[in-house]
Amino acid sequence: MKGGREGMEDMEDREGRADYRSYLDRIVVDEDLHSRIMSRIAQSSEVREAEWAAEQTAQAQRDEWAVEQATRIAQQSDKPRAAGVP
């Protein structure tokens, strides 16, 4: 550093910038961290798949109920009306 700290007056100083770059260049994802990232992604994708499956089941149940309701209404309307009932 030229003149000690004077040389890093701000980031415009080439050496200050080089210090910042060289410090950050050493910060890398190691294998442990990479594994943690991948496992979190896998977990989240399992959760998403489970949510999707639950939503599909719920939708199927809603559809089934709607069909049952429609069938019941159709059957009721097919029944002959009692006498006197408008």
Rule CB under 8 A: which residues touch another protein? Answer: 1, 4-12, 15-17, 19-24, 26-29, 33-34, 36-38, 40-42, 44-45, 48
Contact present, 19 and 8 (Cβ < 8 Å): yes
Q: Which is nearer to another protein, 27 or 74 (CB)?
A: 27
CB of 77 to another protein, least distance (A): 46
Start-to-end CA distance of the chain, whole Å, equals 101
Residue whose pair of structure tokens reads 């798949």 in the numeric block? 49
CB of 57 to another protein, least distance (A): 21
CB of 8 to another protein, least distance (A): 6
**How far is it, in rounded angstroms, from Cα 1 to Cα 63?**
73
